[in-house]
Every structure is written in C-alpha cells, then in structure tokens.
C-alpha cells in the first residue's frame, strides 16, 4: 500500500504523511505538486493522475456542492499498482448545505486540470451522466428513506443528548442545558431528511445550465429489439443527430441492467464504440432466457461531447430449452478367449484413467480391482492382488483391501500412477499400471472412459 498525504494547505513545505514510521521521504508528492503547478499538459495528467477516478470524484463533489476543496481538506494517495496519484476528501462538513463556498474553482490541481480542454470536456460528460442517472429524486430519495428508517431510533437519542444533556450553554452562559427542556437547537431526523430532499431538487435546478450544452448530440431514440434469443440480441437506436448539422458521429455507448437494476452498476456496458454505430450485438452469455432487461444508448460527436442517455427501453428474452447432451453408450468390458489347456499369466482389463473432483475427501471402496483381472485356471476371487507402487502420495493416497477393493484419499489436485500386481494359483504374475487424475471433471480428456464422482 502506498503512502497517504493529508493536505492541510498546499503552501506547506511538507505534508502530513501516513506511512511507516521510518518513511519520512516526501519527494514523490512534492514532485507531483510541482508538476501540476507548472502548466501541465494532457500527457502529464495521463501519466501522473488516475483520471477516471479523479473525474468521477470531482463530478460527485460538484453535485453535492462540496466546495470546501480549496487549497486543503483532501488527501493525496499514490497507487503503487499504477504509479498514478488519486485524491480523496477528509473534511466534508459543508457537503449538501448552503454554507459551502461560492464555487469549486479553487485548488491548483483543479485549476490546472480545467485548463486542459480535453480533460474538462471529459469531466462535463461524466457530470452530465451522474446528474441524469444518480442525482435524481428517483435514485436519491429511496436511499434517504432507507437511511431514515435505519437511523430513526438512534437519531432521536442523539438529538436528546445534544438538546438536554448537562453541558454548558453554548450561547455563553453557565446554565446547564438540562435546565432548559425543549431547547430546540436541533431538528428531528424526519425534518432533516425532508430538507435534504428539497436541497437536492434545488441543486438540480442550479446545475442545469452547467450540464446542458446546446452543441451536444441529441439523445438516441431507441428502436425495438428484433431478436429476443438471449445469445442473439441486437440493440438498435435511431440515427445520430447533432445541432451542429455537420458533426461527425464519433462514438456510441450502450448499457443493460436487469429489471430493477442500478445504472451505475450495469449488467453489461459496451464502453465507447468508435466510430459510432446505431446498433450493437450483445455478446453471448451475458443474458439469460425468460428475463426482462432495461437498456439505454448514448451518442458522442467528434469534439468528444456526449449527450444525454436515451430514455429506458426494455425487452424480455425468450425461454431457451437446452439441447440435451446425448448419453454415450458404455463400452462393454471385453472377455478374453483362453485357448483350452493354455497356462498364461493373469490378464488385466483395468481402466487406464480414473478422475476425481479436486475437493479433498476420502473415497472408501470405490473400485474393485480384482474384478478387472482374469486367469485361465484361477478364479478371480482366488487371485492374489497387491498394490506395488504409487508415484504421488502428496496428491493421493490409495490402499487395497484383502478382497481386492481400492480406497482413495484425495489430498490436492495432481496425478498419481498406481502399479498393481496379480498372481494366480500357479505362481504366474502380471503387473498393470493405473493413472489417477485429481482435477475438475472438465479437465479430464474425453478419451478417458472410466470416471468416479
């Protein structure tokens, strides 16, 4: 994990570094600060800042009016996996209030970011997307209602603590508050929730001029899905339309959610398709049969302005009856033909390969080895069967009972080769090897003709 720097003020010569006690070096963050205070280019930002998370972070801050991000009140973190910097808040007491600062233009990093037109356009695209998909009464109000139901009891106790607790009067006197019942400095949770909902509605109105753009492409008009087979669904939308008249259809993007799903966490997101297309086929395996899905589309032009997402469309996939897998006809064990009067060693018909699942467990008396050997004079029940060798006891430990039954202790995935010997009544011997594979059944060759589950 990389170090975390708390920025109390950008003008400080050093920052508060959260890392191992012995690690006091701050050359990395100081170099980062120097970089974004030196008119950085697009390439500099791409190499040094985790742009996707930073853009979303600033967009959410704008929606929630988190303007207390001036020259302080945030963390810098350098991700050791990517080598790029990320920013996160640590002072959020002015979020979603009217007490915030008047704008969000402060901070050297943010000012440098906005000075690169391509980056600022990406920010506006993301802000518009979150404004439409997340920062709405339909999305936010149920979340607030859920929190209210969860916090009602504890919030009432907390309000009582601050309104009636024996603390010195905050106005400046010495009278304990418990002597002033129903002091009323704090509002109920229900009132706070209602005020927050009103704040969201007002904030949406304030933000509308910022997320609107007279030059961005129009939202696509969705067309019906022609094939509802879950592996053949093609999403289609109407022609690209841009107020410029001569704009280029540079990109399209498509999303699918399950009915009742969250657009911020789609089941499938095509990502940006460049150049744009008015239809796209959903990859096989994404959708299930007999399910209802919702979908949207969005268009972008050659200036990287992306318009509103379309309204929601929906479709129901057809129920697909799976094709039954034919059951193979088992190959009968051949019966050897022994010429009259001959005396041969025992003949083996033991399978070449056995397969077990990878889960460690004991298989007791799973294979009667003595049933897979015959002799021209000695009955199978009187043959002497022995286990001579096993190659990998770390993966598997086999044992053989006196009546010819094999038991197996599966320990871990792997392979083990067992060698068995059969001796008939006349003392003639014959050896046979058996390979055992411990793996998922799908990893076993189809040519393996004997399986144990």
Q: What are phi and psi of 358, to 5 degrees?
A: -80, -10
Average pLDDT of the chain is 82
C-alpha span between 350 and 328 (Å, rounded): 20
β-strand 234-237 against 279-281: which pairing, if any?
A: antiparallel
> Is the pLDDT at 293 greater than 80, yes or no?
yes
Average pLDDT over residues 236-251: 89
The whole-number pLDDT of residue 451 equals: 36
Of 1-15, 174-188, 268-282, 439-453, the range with the highest mean pLDDT is: 268-282
Q: Which of 36-50, 61-75, 213-227 has the lowest mean pLDDT?
A: 61-75
C-alpha span between 280 and 266 (Å, rounded): 16
CA distances (Å), 252 to each of 14, 118, 218, 231, 248, in order?
Answer: 45, 18, 12, 21, 12
Q: Is 296 exposed, middle or buried (0-12, 13-18, 19+ CB in 10 A)?
A: buried
Average pLDDT over residues 206-215: 94
Q: pLDDT, tens digit, for every residue of 382-439? A: 788 888 888 888 888 889 888 888 888 888 888 888 888 888 877 788 877 666 666 5
Average pLDDT over residues 292-309: 96
Q: pLDDT, tens digit, for every residue of 91-102? A: 777 788 765 555
| Residue whose pair of structure tokens reads 């911020």 in the numeric block | 264
C-alpha span between 409 and 363 (Å, rounded): 6
CA distances (Å), 171 to each of 177, 180, 187, 283, in order?
Answer: 10, 13, 18, 65
C-alpha span between 279 and 105 (Å, rounded): 40
The whole-number pLDDT of residue 238 equals: 96
C-alpha span between 368 and 385 (Å, rounded): 11
More confident residue, 204 or 372: 204
Mind giving me the DSSP string for 186-201? Answer: S--HHHHHHHHHHHHH
pLDDT category, 224, cuts 50, 70, 90? Answer: very high
C-alpha span between 257 and 292 (Å, rounded): 9
**Structure token digits, residue 101:** 């600062």
Q: pLDDT, tens digit, for every residue of 131-187? A: 999 999 999 999 999 999 988 888 877 776 666 655 555 555 555 444 444 555 567
Separation of CA 354 from chain center: 37
Give the residue from 223, 21, 203 showing the smallest Cα distance to 130: 203
C-alpha span between 388 and 204 (Å, rounded): 80
SS3 126: helix
Q: Running DSSP on this structure, what letter comes out for residue 178?
A: G
Q: pLDDT, tens digit, for every residue of 306-345? A: 999 999 999 999 998 877 777 776 666 555 554 555 567 8
Q: What are phi and psi of 162, to 5 degrees?
A: -85, -30
Q: How many CA atoms lie within 13 A of 440 on its CB side?
A: 2
Q: Which of 121-130, 248-257, 359-368 has the lowest mean pLDDT?
A: 359-368
SS3 209: helix
**Structure token digits, residue 429:** 């011997």
SS3 127: helix
pLDDT category, 191, cuts 50, 70, 90? Answer: confident
């Amino acid at each position: 994990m990389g170090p975390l720097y708390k920025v109390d003020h950008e003008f400080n010569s050093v920052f508060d570094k959260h890392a191992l006690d012995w690690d006091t070096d701050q050359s990395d963050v100081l170099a980062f600060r120097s970089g974004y205070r030196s008119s950085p280019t697009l390439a500099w930002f791409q190499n040094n800042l985790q742009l996707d998370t930073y853009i979303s972070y600033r967009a959410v801050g704008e929606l929630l009016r988190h303007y207390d991000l001036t020259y302080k009140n945030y963390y810098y973190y350098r991700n050791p996996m990517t080598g790029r910097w990320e920013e996160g808040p640590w002072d959020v007491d002015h979020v979603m209030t009217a007490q915030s600062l008047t704008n969000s233009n402060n901070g050297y990093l943010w000012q440098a970011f906005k000075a690169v037109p391509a980056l600022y356009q990406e920010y506006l695209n993301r802000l518009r997307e979150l404004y439409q998909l997340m920062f709405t009464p339909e999305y936010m109000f149920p979340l607030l209602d859920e929190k209210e139901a969860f916090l009602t009891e504890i919030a009432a106790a907390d309000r009582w603590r601050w309104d009636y607790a024996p603390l010195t009067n905050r106005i400046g006197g010495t009278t304990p508050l418990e002597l002033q019942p129903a002091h009323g400095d704090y509002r109920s949770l229900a009132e706070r929730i209602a005020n927050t909902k009103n704040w969201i509605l007002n904030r949406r109105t304030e933000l509308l001029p910022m997320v609107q753009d007279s030059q961005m492409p129009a939202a696509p008009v969705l067309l019906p899905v022609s094939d509802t087979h879950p592996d053949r669904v093609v999403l289609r939308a109407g022609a690209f339309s841009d107020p410029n008249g001569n704009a280029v259809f540079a990109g399209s993007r498509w999303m699918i959610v399950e009915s009742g799903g969250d657009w911020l966490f789609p089941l499938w997101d095509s990502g940006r398709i460049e150049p744009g297309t008015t239809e796209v086929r959903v990859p096989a395996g994404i959708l299930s049969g007999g399910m209802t899905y919702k979908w949207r589309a969005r268009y972008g032009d050659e200036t990287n302005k992306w318009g509103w997402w379309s309204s929601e469309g929906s479709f129901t996939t057809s129920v697909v009856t799976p094709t039954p897998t034919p059951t193979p006809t088992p190959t009968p064990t051949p019966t050897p033909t022994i010429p009259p009067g001959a005396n041969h060693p025992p003949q083996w018909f033991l399978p070449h390969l056995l397969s077990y699942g990878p889960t460690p467990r004991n298989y007791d008396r799973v294979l009667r080895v003595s049933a897979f050997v015959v002799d021209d004079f000695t009955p199978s029940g009187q043959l002497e069967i022995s286990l001579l060798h096993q190659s990998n006891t770390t993966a598997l430990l086999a044992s053989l009972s006196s009546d010819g039954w094999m038991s197996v202790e599966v320990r871990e995935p792997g392979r083990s080769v067992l060698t068995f010997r059969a001796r008939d009544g006349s003392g003639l011997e014959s050896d046979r090897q058996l390979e055992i594979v411990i793996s998922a059944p799908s990893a076993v060759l189809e040519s393996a003709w004997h399986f144990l589950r």
